[in-house]
């Protein structure tokens, strides 16, 4: 079966011949290929759709523009990763326009402030739920461990 690659070419190559064309940074090309054909389409983009559809909103991923992906597929691996710094080319370009330190800082995520909530306004509900006689009688968890976890929040 012929498959269209991320650079738009038709390829009848599979397995070893395809991996041989990836070159020195073969694992980087293989990762990009796997991300585009599997992880993005089967997982990340689906999650984004599920998260936004109930609210009649849409999310766009500007770095997934097909022309940008095709371009990056042709960029040599040493421009994508250098001295264990991923996204090297993107970060190099952004260093000229973003405040110092922003392109190289670690991911921050967008988690919920659960610790603060459970130590504050939700503490009574937490204690009443996980330390209730009913919850402890189920025997799923050791009561002393659950109690210690609640106390050390």
pTM confidence score: 0.51
- Could you give the 3-state DSSP secondary structure of residue 71? helix
Kindly tell me the number of DSSP H helices and DSSP E strands found in the chain: 10, 4
Pairwise CA distance, residues 78 & 89, whole Å: 9
**Overall average pLDDT of the 127-144 stretch:** 94
pLDDT tier at 99, thresholds 50, 70, 90: very high
Using one digit for the tens of pLDDT, what is the confidence trace for 63-86? Answer: 888 898 888 888 887 788 888 788
Beta bridge partners of 85: 82
Alpha helix ranges (H) inside the chain: 15-20, 26-34, 45-52, 66-74, 77-80, 88-94, 114-119, 123-130, 133-137, 143-151
**Overall average pLDDT of the 114-142 stretch:** 93
pLDDT tier at 33, thresholds 50, 70, 90: confident
Q: What percent of the chain stands above pLDDT 70?
A: 84
> Rounded to the nearest 5°, which phi and psi values hold at 92?
-60, -45
């Amino acid at each position: 079966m012929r498959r269209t690659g991320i650079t738009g070419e038709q390829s009848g190559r599979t397995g070893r011949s395809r991996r041989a064309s990836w070159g020195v940074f073969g694992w980087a090309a293989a990762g990009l290929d796997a991300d585009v054909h599997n992880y993005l389409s089967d997982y990340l983009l689906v999650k984004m759709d599920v998260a936004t559809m109930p609210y009649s909103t849409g999310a766009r991923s500007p770095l997934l523009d097909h022309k940008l992906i095709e371009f990056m597929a042709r960029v040599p691996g040493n421009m994508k990763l250098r001295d264990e710094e991923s996204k090297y080319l993107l970060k190099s370009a952004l260093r000229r326009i973003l405040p110092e330190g922003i392109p190289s800082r670690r991911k921050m995520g967008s988690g919920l402030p659960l610790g603060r909530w459970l130590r504050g306004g939700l503490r009574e509900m937490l204690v009443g739920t996980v330390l209730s006689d009913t919850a402890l009688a189920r025997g799923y968890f050791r009561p002393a461990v659950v109690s210690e976890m609640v106390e050390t929040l």
